[in-house]
Amino acid sequence: MDRSLFIVAGTLILSALASQAQQTTSVLPDAPKSQVMPQATLIYRSPTQGERFRYYVKHTYGIYSVIEAGVRGGIDQGLDRPSQWPEGGQGFADRMGSAMGEIAVRGTTEYVFADLFREDLRRIPCDSSCPQSAFVRALDDTFTARKGADGRRAFSVARLLGPVAAGVVARETWYPSGYTDKQVVGEVGVNYGFTFFRSYVWELIHR
């Protein structure tokens, strides 16, 4: 499947651009440790349009997405899924490219609907004194987002539709014919699963 090679190549280019943008983006200095305030007292600020877009690019085309695509490609290769695709290097490229395509659809859908419903999908670090476990916070990030001027947590339309769109678009475009609805549901579940896993790993790293 030649177009998967273009997907992989495009992914690597976008990843490099996202990495470069991240390096050139100014970062606010950390507050002195002696002045760190409990999380409950921090003042929430809604993201600007530029911050929303930068988060979308970094989260969708960054290194974590490339790693996810590689892992998913390897798993699908081992399971010979889809069976119509070849084995070997070409087969892995097809499957990794497919996974990256789903990640792009998922991230773009989340970005569009988050902007439409004014949802804040950013992850905000929680230090070791955080009352919630990394597992609970990752689960929240999978299905909820911050809303309103106070940044309250609520059910997220964007989080719901992103994985669904990824599975459906993959079936209707580049997946081989005969891909069943049950298999599409499986792909949706995989997207939810990796969304949670990435959030969980991120929480562990930033504690």
**Within a domain: 129:** no
Per-residue pLDDT tens listing for the chain (207 residues): 444 444 444 444 444 444 444 444 444 444 444 444 344 446 889 999 999 999 999 999 999 999 999 999 999 999 999 999 999 999 999 999 999 999 999 999 999 999 999 999 998 877 667 788 999 999 999 999 999 999 999 999 999 999 999 999 999 999 998 888 899 999 999 999 999 999 999 999 987
| DSSP-based three-state secondary structure for 121 | coil
Q: Identity (one letter) of the amino acid at 67? A: I
pLDDT of residue 206: 86
Residue 155: in which H helix or E strand, if any?
Answer: strand 152-155
In a domain? residue 140: no
How many domains are contained in the chain? Answer: 1
Contacts of 153 (CB under 8 A, 6+ apart): 140, 144, 145, 146, 147
- In angstroms, the first-to-last Cα distance of the chain is 42
pLDDT of res. 42: 62
Q: What is the pLDDT of residues 36-79, one digit of tens each?
A: 434 444 688 999 999 999 999 999 999 999 999 999 999 999 99
Q: How far is CA 142 from CA 5, 62, 160, in A?
A: 30, 18, 8
16 token code pair: 């490099």
Residue 93's pLDDT is: 97
> For residues 137 and 31, is the Cβ–Cβ distance under 8 A?
no
137 in a structural domain: no
**CA atoms of 169 and 174, how far apart (whole Å):** 8
Domain that holds residue 53: 2-20+47-122+157-191
pTM of this structure: 0.78
118/21 Cα distance (integer angstroms):
24
pLDDT given for residue 179 in this prediction: 84
Q: 157 with 117: CB under 8 angstroms?
A: yes
Tell me, yes or no, whether 10 lies in a domain: yes
The torsion of the CA quartet 90, 91, 92, 97, rounded to 10 degrees, works out to: 90
CA torsion sign for 87, 89, 90, 96 is positive
Domain assignment present for residue 130? The answer is no
Residue 172 domain-assigned (yes or no):
yes
Largest CA distance in the chain: 61
- Look at residue 58 and tell me if it is in a domain: yes
CA distances from 83 to 75, 129, 163, 175 (A): 13, 48, 22, 11
